[in-house]
C-alpha cells in the first residue's frame, strides 16, 4: 500500500497521537498500516523491534476483525492487550486499514486498561476522520525468499 500524507494530515495525525500519548503516559505510540508498515512514531522506542511487533500485532488485529465479521459486519474497534512485567502493550484497529500501537511502561502508578481504552477510543474516533482523507493506492507486496527468512528469524527471536 502506498500512502501519501499531506503536511496538514501529517500534522493533524501527529497532534492527535501526541495528545493520546500525554493522556495515557505512554512511552511510545506507533501508527501502522494493516501490513505492519510504520507510518508515524512518537516517543522513546528504546530498541523496540518495531517491524516485528507491528507485523505480529497487525496479524492479530486482522484475525479479530475477521472473527468479528462472522458475528456481525459492523465497523468495530478491536483492542489487543498484553500486560507485561515492565511494559503494557495495546493495539487498536482504525477501520481495516490502520493499527494504533501503544507501549506504556509500568510504574508505581500503572495506567489501567479502562483508562487507556477510554482515551484510545476517543482518539481512534478522531483519527478515523483524519485518516479517511488519506489517499491510498493498493499494491500487492511480494516477499522474496530473503525477506521471508528474515521474517521467520524475527519470529524465532521473539518467541525463544
- The answer to whether 116 touches 20, Cβ cutoff 8 Å, is no
Percent residues over pLDDT 90 in the chain: 44
Prediction pTM value: 0.78
Encode burial over 19-34: b for 16+ CB neighbours within 10 A, e otherwise.
ebbebbebbbbbbbbb
pLDDT tens, position by position, 34-74: 899 998 999 999 888 998 999 999 999 998 888 888 888 66
Q: Which fold has domain 2-158?
A: Beta-Lactamase (3.30.450)
Rounded to 5°, the CA angle 52-58-62 comes to 150
Q: How many helices (H) and strands (E) does the chain have?
A: 4, 7
What does the pLDDT read at residue 144?
Answer: 46
- Tens of pLDDT, residue by residue over 9-35, are 889 999 999 999 999 999 999 999 989
Q: How far apart are CA 16 and CA 121, in angstroms?
A: 12
Coil, helix or strand for 115?
helix
Give residue 106's pLDDT band: very low, low, confident or very high (50, 70, 90).
confident
Amino acid at each position: 500500500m502506498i500512502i501519501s500524507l499531506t503536511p496538514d494530515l501529517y500534522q493533524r495525525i501527529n497532534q492527535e497521537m501526541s495528545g493520546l500519548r500525554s493522556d495515557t503516559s505512554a512511552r511510545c505510540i506507533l501508527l501502522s498500516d494493516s501490513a505492519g508498515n510504520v507510518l508515524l512514531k512518537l516517543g522513546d522506542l528504546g530498541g523496540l523491534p518495531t517491524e516485528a511487533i507491528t507485523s505480529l500485532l497487525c496479524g492479530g488485529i486482522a484475525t479479530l476483525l475477521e472473527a468479528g465479521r462472522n458475528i456481525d459486519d459492523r465497523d468495530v474497534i478491536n483492542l489487543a492487550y498484553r500486560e507485561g512485567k515492565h511494559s503494557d502493550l495495546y493495539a487498536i484497529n482504525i477501520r481495516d486499514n490502520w493499527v494504533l500501537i501503544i507501549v506504556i511502561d509500568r510504574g508505581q502508578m500503572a495506567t489501567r486498561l479502562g483508562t487507556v481504552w477510554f482515551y484510545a477510543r476517543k482518539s481512534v474516533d478522531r483519527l478515523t476522520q483524519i485518516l479517511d482523507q488519506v489517499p491510498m493506492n493498493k499494491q500487492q507486496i511480494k516477499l522474496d525468499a530473503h525477506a521471508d527468512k528474515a521474517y521467520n528469524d524475527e519470529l524465532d527471536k521473539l518467541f525463544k
